[in-house]
Structure 1
Amino acid sequence: MKHTNKKVLSKGIKYLAAALPLVMIGPSVLYSAFNNQDKDLYILILILGIIATFAAIFLMFKGIITIVKSMFD
């Protein structure tokens, strides 16, 4: 009978915990960028928002895959 690998599970939970603030920050920064298109820093803030959003998606994907791996591998 297999048991859950607790080290790998905690690593997956850490990935999800790191993704949580990015899930909130990324879309907020994108919204702010699109509302201020006439400002000078529009492109920089837009790029930062896109990076934060994609980092959140990547960390969530990595966390879920790691948790599943800890349970079924």
Structure 2
Amino acid sequence: MPKPKNTNKIILITGLKLMGGSLICMFLGPTLIYISQTKLNSPIDTVVLVLSIVICCFAIYLAFKGIHTILDSMFKKG
């Protein structure tokens, strides 16, 4: 009789941490974009805009990496 597959809990927790980081970045990035767009009076606002776009891209990366890690913890052989 084949042994049932178990979820690797350590890898699952790592994936959930990545998803939590993604959630924080998903709120932080658009908030910084809004702040930088409402006050375009100083050169620092352009830096904040670029930083916020980088944070939004990082949120997307973390989301994909987190989902991939969670699926690996459930379905990966080994």
Match in the other structure for 1:11? 14
- Aligned match of 1:28: 31
> How many angstroms does 1:40 deviate by?
2.1
Which structure features the higher share of helix residues?
Answer: 1
Matched letter for residue 56 of structure 1: A
2:53 matched to 1:50?
Answer: yes
SS at match of 1:25: helix
Q: 5+ residue gaps in structure 1?
A: none
TM superposition score normalised by structure 2: 0.84
Q: CA deviation at 1:72?
A: 0.9
Using the TM superposition, give the Cα deviation of residue 34 of structure 1 relative to its aligned residue in structure 2, in angstroms.
1.7
- Separation in 2 of the partners of 1:12 and 1:4? 12
Identical positions, percent: 36
Larger Rg: 2
Give secondary structure in 1 for the equivalent of 2:41: coil
How many pairs align?
Answer: 73
